[in-house]
Amino acid sequence: MSFDQVSGILGVFGTIAFAITGVMAVAERRVDFFSAIVLGVITAVGGGTIRDLILDVPVFWSLDLSYIRIAVAASIVTFIALSIFTRPQLIKGILYVDAVGISLFGMGGALKAYELGFAWPIGPLMLGVITAIGGGLIRDVLTGRKTLLMSDEVYAVPVVIGCLTMLMMLNFFPTMNSTALITGATVAFVLRAAAITWDLRLPRWFTTQIK
Amino acid sequence: MSFDQVSGILGVFGTIAFAITGVMAVAERRVDFFSAIVLGVITAVGGGTIRDLILDVPVFWSLDLSYIRIAVAASIVTFIALSIFTRPQLIKGILYVDAVGISLFGMGGALKAYELGFAWPIGPLMLGVITAIGGGLIRDVLTGRKTLLMSDEVYAVPVVIGCLTMLMMLNFFPTMNSTALITGATVAFVLRAAAITWDLRLPRWFTTQIK
Amino acid sequence: MSFDQVSGILGVFGTIAFAITGVMAVAERRVDFFSAIVLGVITAVGGGTIRDLILDVPVFWSLDLSYIRIAVAASIVTFIALSIFTRPQLIKGILYVDAVGISLFGMGGALKAYELGFAWPIGPLMLGVITAIGGGLIRDVLTGRKTLLMSDEVYAVPVVIGCLTMLMMLNFFPTMNSTALITGATVAFVLRAAAITWDLRLPRWFTTQIK
């Protein structure tokens, strides 16, 4: 499989993951079907849209309409499936799906900035983080939820470490694109999933709370 | 009247409508004059600014400064007029004015994307929705209100149906621009206004709430 | 000292000020180190990023990576220093540091728009205000705080008056760039600091609150 294919497939999975979290986020409210779909789509394409605006390139979903179609389809399926979930499962589940999304979008965002030669090395890292957490932040702000950034959960650091892993591999082995992408995404996802599963928190002295 | 004139006049009305809702949104708080004006202007030009950034064209208010002037003037008039309103009237009234805004901005946004040949047919629909609800979402987020998207109110669907109506007319009758614009805006406004007036809700099975 | 040097130094101070407020804003929560740094950086570069997107120029931090480095450094130092502060001092302190930020970023934003000939005279004023309050609004929205715009505090008006002062000086004395910049920033800061110190409020009839 070529690198573009790998990259494209992972982008599709990230889009699906974020669309699902967008619709799941309003599962406890009475939100109508169309608003839920709009929210799913905004969550799915929000981070990448901000990235492309900063890179000053055409937004990715205007070049390939399948991203929007996939986001709409994933949102509709999630909407229908919502009745299957019970609340406690849902709260935990949304975190894992979000973890898939931030891992894939983080690497995708960093990679796009890297390929465009944007402000190496800080630019790819910044845009990786923005792409990863942008859509989720918009989702949390629009739905009035506490943003995942605003807690002592291990949320930003897996993305940062995953991006750094990928960028370092690309720096030393520029031809190993696919491997670097998959490695970085795996590192990010495993760290984040471990944090969710065992409820890992950073030590108290590593948080902002005043004693 | 030429199409550009029709389009321009409706844009002015949309700007006025959104500026009014921006100032009305803080009527129950003690917000100073200047902050209220800033909020009115951001609400009025926010959706169109996001649209123009995504289209990668100069933001509309930098090409024609009258939009900002009109938004400032409408905000000032609303500020002065606020003392006339009583609270219950206000809450209902802001919804109708917002309905005018989303109808006009939705069609204007979709039309601009259509004329620029942006990602037909999903692009115009996406940008119509973003232009329509963008300013209002910024307003609600900045003022800490629950966004209008986050309820079982019929909010997103009138814009979607209005845009689809206009785009379908444009597709079959490309010369009927003005008619398509006015028809789409009317459809969107009538649907939204009906939903406000008779407090229409989508049926419970058509919302995200878990049973 | 040349104008570019003056402008650059003030930009650095504004970046430091906003990064500090971003980390200070989460001092009362348990937010982990990395999230706090991400928030500090977003607060520091958020307003300028929106400005550059609207101006359609490369975002400033992609051309000069030292802004990100400085924002990260200031965020780390603030994180470490947080244990020194006690809560009441903190609440007041964050307002003064924010005042430094909005004064410097307001003038910097207006100046950049002026130099690019963007939509004179409303464009520079609009972008001055957006650059000044953009980062702080993002900070407040992401952290779930009431935005500083949403109160009867004298917040927007010092920036507007400072920008108008600077732009008028530039209009009449186009060679006095440094003087105009420093004067405008001083006017804005003194007004805002006075409002904080003596808890100045606009008279009740000058606010939106319905009687």
Which tens digits make up the pLDDT trace of C116-151?
Answer: 999 999 999 999 999 999 999 999 999 988 888 887
Domain map of chain B by residue range? 3-206
pLDDT above 90 (res C180): yes
DSSP SS3 for A200:
coil
Which tens digits make up the pLDDT trace of B156-190?
Answer: 899 999 999 999 999 999 888 889 999 999 999 99
Give the angle B141-B55-A17 at the CA atoms, nearest 5°. Answer: 60
Specify the range with the lowest mean pLDDT, choosing from A9-18, A135-144, C5-14, C108-117. Answer: C5-14
**pLDDT, mean of residues C80-105:** 82
Which tens digits make up the pLDDT trace of C4-32?
Answer: 788 888 889 999 999 999 998 888 777 88
Q: Give the closest-approach CA distance of B158 to chain C in angstroms.
A: 28
pLDDT at residue A29, rounded to an integer: 79
pLDDT above 90 (res A31): no
Name chain A contacts of C34, Cβ cutoff 8 Å: 156-157, 160
Q: Which of C112, C150, C192 would best serve as a mutation to test chain B binding (most B beta carbons within 10 A)?
A: C150
Name chain C contacts of A201, Cβ cutoff 8 Å: 32
B158 vs B51, B145, B180, B200, CA distance in Å?
Answer: 19, 21, 16, 12
Query: Running DSSP on this structure, what letter comes out for residue A83?
Result: G
CB contact under 8 A, C56 and B61: no
Identify the CA nearest to B136 among candidates B45, B36, B7, B30. Answer: B45
% residues pLDDT > 90 (chain A): 63
**Residue-averaged pLDDT of chain B:** 89
A54 and A130 Cβ atoms separated by less than 8 Å: yes
Which tens digits make up the pLDDT trace of B6-41?
Answer: 888 888 999 999 999 999 888 877 788 888 999 999
**pLDDT, mean of residues A31-56:** 94
Using a CB–CB cutoff of 8 Å, tell me whether A117 touches chain B.
no
**Residue-averaged pLDDT of chain C:** 89
B176 vs B110, B117, B183, C161, CA distance in Å?
Answer: 15, 17, 10, 47
% residues pLDDT > 90 (chain B): 63
- For residue A38, give the nearest of B129, B151, B208 by CB distance: B129
- Residue C198 C-beta-side C-alpha neighbours within 13 Å: 8
> How far from each other are the two terminal CA atoms of chain B, in whole angstroms?
53
> How far from each other are the two terminal CA atoms of chain C, in whole angstroms?
53
pLDDT above 90 (res C87): no
B102 and B159 Cβ atoms separated by less than 8 Å: yes
Task: Look up residue C31 and give its amino acid.
Answer: V
DSSP SS3 for C32:
strand
Identify the CA nearest to B33 among candidates B87, B69, B80. Answer: B80
CB contact under 8 A, A153 and C30: no
Higher-pLDDT residue of B49 and C150 is B49
pLDDT at residue C131, rounded to an integer: 96
Q: Buried b vs exposed e over A142-180: b needs ≥16 C-beta within 10 Å?
A: bbbeebbbbbbbbbbbbbbbbbbbbbebbeeeeeebbeb
pLDDT above 60 (res A209): yes
C166 and C184 Cβ atoms separated by less than 8 Å: yes
pLDDT above 80 (res C161): yes
Neighbours of A63 (CB within 10 A): 11
**pLDDT, mean of residues A137-164:** 89
Report d(CA A184, CA A203) in Å as an integer.
25
pLDDT above 90 (res C203): no
H runs (alpha helix) in B82-176: 87-115, 122-142, 156-172
**pLDDT, mean of residues A139-168:** 89
Report d(CA B14, CA B9) in Å as an integer.
9
Using a CB–CB cutoff of 8 Å, tell me whether A68 touches chain B.
yes
Using a CB–CB cutoff of 8 Å, tell me whether B208 touches chain A.
yes
pLDDT at residue A91, rounded to an integer: 72
Token readout for C24 is 């200070």
pLDDT interval class at A159 (50, 70, 90): very high
pLDDT above 60 (res C46): yes
- ipTM associated with this complex: 0.91
**pLDDT, mean of residues B88-114:** 88
Which tens digits make up the pLDDT trace of B58-95?
Answer: 999 999 999 999 999 999 999 988 877 666 777 778 88
Report d(CA B168, CA B161) in Å as an integer.
10
Which tens digits make up the pLDDT trace of A68-110?
Answer: 999 999 999 999 888 776 667 777 788 898 899 999 999 999 9
Q: Buried b vs exposed e over A79-113: b needs ≥16 C-beta within 10 Å?
A: beebeebeeeebeeebbbbbbbbbbbbbbbbbbbb
